[in-house]
Amino acid sequence: MDRINIHIRDLITSYQELNPSTIPELSDPPSALEFMRYAATNRPFILRNGAADFPAVQKWNAAYLREVMNDAPVNVAISAAGDADSVLERPDGELWFIKPCEVSAPFGAVLDAIQLQEQDAGHTGPVLYAQTQNDNLRNEYAPLYADIPPTIPFARIALQRPPDAINFWLGSARSRTALHRDPYENIYVQVLGTKTFTLLPPTEAPCVNEQRLRAGTYVPAAETQAEHEAEGPPAAVYPTLDSPPASIPFPTWDPDNPAVRPSPYSHLAWPIRLMLRPGDMLYLPALWYHAVAQGNGNEGISCSVNYWYDMDYSGAFYSLSGFARGVGLASMGREEDGGFIDAPAT
C-alpha cells in the first residue's frame, strides 16, 4: 500500500505545482469561449461586481423581500446551531450526518426569526436558514424571480444548457454550510451580506477524510410534527437517528478546523479562501469541495442566488475524480465504491 500512498501524495502536490494558489478576479464578464477555458480546466474565478446590474442586487433588502413575498409559505431548515447537513459529534464520540428539521412557514415569519436570532447576542434557540436547493427561485420564491436574469449568458452559451436549478438562500452568520461538493457547474451571486468560501480542488479528495456516517435529523422538541407545522418554527430541536436507519459518506475533516479528524493526507491540502460581497459573482466548478460561512449585512441577513448547470460527465474528468476519491478511501482501508456520492447541501 506504500506505493499507493506515494501516488496519492504526488497527485495532490502535482496539482498544486501546476495551478495557481489563488483565484483570478475578472473585471469584465468572460466570453463564452473564455468561460469554457475555465470550465475545461475546472478552475474557479470571481467576477467582482459581476451581478451589480441585477435588479436583485439593486433592489433587495429586508423590506422589499417582505413586501414581495408577503406571507407566502416557504420551506426553512432548522438546526440546533446553524449546523444543518453537517457532521455532528455525539457525546459518546460517534459522528452523525445531521439533517435539518424542515418546516413550512410564512416568509415574513421566517425573515423575522432570522433577523431576531442576529439581534439577540444571547440567542440560544434553533437557527433558521432558508436553503432548499430545489430550484426554489422558480417555485416557492417565484415572486422574486423577475429580479434576476433567467440564465447567465456566458455559461448558457458555453455549456449549451439552461440552468438545472436556480436557488434562493436566506440566512445569517449563525449558519455555516459544511464542506461538501456537488456535481454541478455553479454560478454563485451574492446579494446581501457576505459569503466566505473555503475551497479544495477535486484532487484533494483524499484530504477530506470522508467517512460513512449514520444519518440523523433534527426534530422539534416536545412537539409533534403536525403541531410544529401548524405553528411555525419550533422553539427547540434535538437530533435523532433516522428510521429506517440510513448512512451517508461525508467529509469529516474541515480545513477551517484542521486539527480535528485529519486524514493521513489532510496536511497536504492547500485550502483557498475567498469572500463575496453584494454584487460579486463566483464560478465554482463542479466537484470542488466548499464550506461556506456567512456575514450579515446591515439588516442581519445574508442572501444569495445561485445557478446550477449540470456538469459534463463525458470526457475523463468525472471518472478520474471518482477514481481519486475511491483510491484515497481504499488507501485508508475504507470500502466505499469509487465515483461521486451526492451530498445534500451546497
| CB-CB contact of 298 with 320 (8 Å) | no
Pick between residue 130 and residue 324 the one whose CB is nearest to a second copy: 324
Provide CB contacts within 8 A for 260, sequence distance 6+: 253, 254
Give the one residue of 95, 327, 341, 345 binding a second copy; rule: CB under 8 A: 327
What residues numbered 113-172 form the site for a second copy, per CB under 8 A? 157-158, 160
Confirm or reject binding of residue 201 to a second copy (CB under 8 A). yes
CA distance 199 to 50: 20
Pick between residue 97 and residue 318 the one whose CB is nearest to a second copy: 318
Give the one residue of 226, 245, 267, 335 binding a second copy; rule: CB under 8 A: 335
Amino acid identity, residue 191? V
Give the one residue of 23, 42, 56, 176 binding a second copy; rule: CB under 8 A: 42
Pick between residue 18 and residue 121 the one whose CB is nearest to a second copy: 18
CA 129 and chain centroid, separation: 12
Give the one residue of 274, 330, 341, 345 binding a second copy; rule: CB under 8 A: 330
Give me the 254-293 binding string for a second copy, x by CB under 8 A, dash otherwise.
Answer: ----------------------------------------
Amino acid identity, residue 262? P
Torsions phi, psi for 207 (to 5 deg): -80, -20
Pick between residue 293 and residue 324 the one whose CB is nearest to a second copy: 324
Pick between residue 166 and residue 282 the one whose CB is nearest to a second copy: 282
What is residue 192's DSSP assignment? E
Pick between residue 129 and residue 318 the one whose CB is nearest to a second copy: 318
CA distance 71 to 106: 5
What residues numbered 3-22 form the site for a second copy, per CB under 8 A? 3-4, 6-8, 10-11, 14-15, 18-19
| CB-CB contact of 292 with 197 (8 Å) | yes
- Measured torsion, CA atoms of residues 87, 91, 94, 97, in degrees rounded to the nearest 10: -30
| CB-CB contact of 215 with 248 (8 Å) | yes
Give me the 293-312 binding string for a second copy, x by CB under 8 A, dash otherwise.
Answer: -------------------x
Shortest distance, position 10 Cβ to a second copy, whole Å: 5
Torsions phi, psi for 310 (to 5 deg): -50, 140
| CB-CB contact of 89 with 250 (8 Å) | no
Shortest distance, position 174 Cβ to a second copy, whole Å: 34
The burial of 193, by beta-carbon neighbours within 10 Å (0-12 exposed, 13-18 middle, 19 or more buried), is given as buried
The CA distances from residue 288 to 152, 272, 318, in Å, are 20, 11, 12
Give Rg (Cα) of the chain: 20
Stretch that binds a second copy, among 124-132, 201-209, 268-276, 299-307 (CB under 8 A): 201-209
CA distance 181 to 288: 6
Give the one residue of 26, 29, 32, 219 binding a second copy; rule: CB under 8 A: 32
C-alpha cell at 2: 506504500
Shortest distance, position 273 Cβ to a second copy, whole Å: 20
Give the one residue of 23, 30, 39, 305 binding a second copy; rule: CB under 8 A: 39
Pick between residue 19 and residue 139 the one whose CB is nearest to a second copy: 19
User: Site residues (CB under 8 A) for a second copy?
Assistant: 1, 3-4, 6-8, 10-11, 14-15, 18-19, 32-33, 36-37, 39-43, 157-158, 160, 201-203, 312-324, 326-327, 330, 335, 337-339
